[in-house]
């Protein structure tokens, strides 16, 4: 039964073929998965403006924090239920699957009601009761790497979810704490090909938390796809300078638009489907 690694169900030894599953027409683990949206949902106009842009570009996943884990208790904590309702409304209007962060067990029912994929943030990667409960929630989980976690600890966190009954786990590298302060975190690009050898789970990259600087987001995104990532989660804002959280690392909408053709080329090299902009006109989605 056992494998040589401390984790089992998530290991390549246990299962050779890549884990794939379909959400909103995208085969995660095979196609290129692009998730974009603001760090936090702030108001209706913000989320609808951004969502309309994403739909025009044929992006299929909208991110947005409604419950925000902020370092300071005095920082904006998110719109909570109202934020989730806005995400759902915009997602339904523009054909976007919704990704939002789950911070505690008592909010799982609410997140499951409004979101299509539940994000576990870096601060909760080792919240074992939460991980076990998410094993039973019935929705795919986006599991960020803990900011001080080894690859092994991260895969063991995924093992908690999978062994509790949910194999739909997407790993997300988002940088780790090092002595370097020029970037917000130190992105571990090598984690991508390494995870691919150790595990059958899909892995995506968050270049926004990973660098903290918007001008680094595009080059690092291309590097991630070249390294074999299954997708990206990118922060974008209609007015980054006014953002209530993570404005410095949020792309302008046009910057995201400029990045897409570059990613499309990288995706072709990796044989990953990425049909940006081939969408029907937004008017037809309403
Ligand atoms: C985020 O995605 O906005 C976020 C808080 O991410 P992380 O948990 O990786 O810091
Ligand atoms: Mn953020």
For the residues of 110-127, what is the DSSP string, one character each?
HHHHH-SEEEEPGGGTT-
Tens digit of pLDDT for each residue in 159-170?
999 999 999 999
CB 41 within 8 A of CB 79: yes
Helix (H) or strand (E) run with residue 142 in it: strand 141-144
* Average pLDDT rounded to a whole number, residues 212-234: 98
* Average pLDDT rounded to a whole number, residues 271-286: 67
Specify the CATH number for 31-269; select among 3.40.1190.20, 3.40.50.1370, 3.40.50.740, 3.20.20.70: 3.20.20.70
Would you say residue 278 has pLDDT above 90? Answer: no
Give the nearest ligand 1 atom to 40 CA.
3
* Average pLDDT rounded to a whole number, residues 194-202: 98
The confidence score (pLDDT) of residue 3 equals: 57
Residue 281's pLDDT band, with cuts at 50, 70 and 90, is: very low
Would you say residue 189 has pLDDT above 60? Answer: yes
Residue 2's pLDDT band, with cuts at 50, 70 and 90, is: low
- Mean pLDDT, rounded, of the chain: 96
Give the nearest ligand 1 atom to 172 CA.
9
The confidence score (pLDDT) of residue 4 equals: 80
CA 64 / ligand 1 centre spacing (Å): 10
- Atom 8, ligand 1: residue with shortest CA distance: 121
The confidence score (pLDDT) of residue 286 equals: 47
- Atom 6, ligand 1: residue with shortest CA distance: 121
Retrieve residue 17's tokens.
Answer: 């073929």
For the residues of 14-66, what is the DSSP string, one character each?
T--SPP-EEETTEEETTBPEEEEE-SB---HHHHHHHHHHHHHTT--EEE-BS
Query: What sections of the chain are H helices per DSSP?
Result: 44-56, 81-94, 108-114, 128-134, 151-163, 191-198, 207-211, 214-226, 253-269
The Cα 256–Cα 113 span in angstroms is: 29
The Cα 107–Cα 21 span in angstroms is: 25
Tens digit of pLDDT for each residue in 57-80?
999 999 999 999 999 999 999 999
* Ligand positioned closest to the Cα atom of 123: 1
The confidence score (pLDDT) of residue 276 equals: 84
Whole-structure pTM value: 0.96
Tens digit of pLDDT for each residue in 77-114?
999 999 999 999 999 999 999 999 999 999 999 999 99
CA 2 / ligand 1 centre spacing (Å): 34
Give the nearest ligand 1 atom to 65 CA.
3
Q: What residues line ligand 1, using a CB cutoff of 6 Å? A: 39, 65, 69, 121-122, 144, 174, 206, 209
CB 243 within 8 A of CB 68: no
- Atom 5, ligand 1: residue with shortest CA distance: 121
């Amino acid at each position: 039964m056992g494998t040589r690694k401390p984790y089992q169900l998530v290991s390549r030894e246990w299962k050779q073929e890549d884990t794939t599953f379909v959400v909103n027409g995208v085969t995660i683990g095979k196609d290129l998965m692009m998730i974009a949206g603001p760090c936090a949902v702030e108001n209706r106009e913000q989320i609808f403006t951004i969502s309309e842009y994403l739909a025009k570009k044929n992006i299929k996943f909208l991110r947005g924090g409604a419950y925000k884990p902020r370092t300071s208790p005095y920082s904006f904590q998110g719109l909570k239920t109202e934020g989730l309702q806005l995400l759902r409304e915009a997602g339904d209007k523009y054909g976007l699957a919704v990704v939002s962060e789950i911070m505690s067990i008592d909010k799982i029912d609410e997140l499951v009601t409004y979101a299509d994929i539940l994000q576990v943030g870096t601060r909760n990667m080792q919240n074992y009761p939460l991980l076990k409960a998410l094993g039973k929630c019935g929705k795919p989980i986006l599991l960020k790497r803990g900011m001080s976690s080894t690859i092994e600890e991260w895969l063991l966190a995924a093992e908690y979810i999978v062994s509790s009954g949910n194999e739909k786990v997407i790993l997300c590298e988002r940088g780790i704490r090092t002595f370097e302060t020029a970037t917000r975190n130190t992105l571990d690009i090598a984690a991508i090909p390494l995870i691919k050898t150790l595990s059958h789970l899909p892995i995506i990259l968050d270049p926004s938390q990973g660098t903290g600087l918007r001008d680094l987001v595009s080059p690092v995104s291309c590097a991630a796809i070249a390294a074999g990532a299954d997708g990206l989660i990118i922060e974008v804002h209609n007015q980054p300078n006014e953002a209530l959280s993570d404005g410095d690392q949020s792309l302008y909408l046009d910057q995201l638009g400029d990045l897409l053709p570059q990613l499309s080329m990288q995706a072709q090299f990796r044989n990953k489907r990425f049909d940006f902009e081939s969408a029907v006109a937004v008017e037809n989605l309403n």
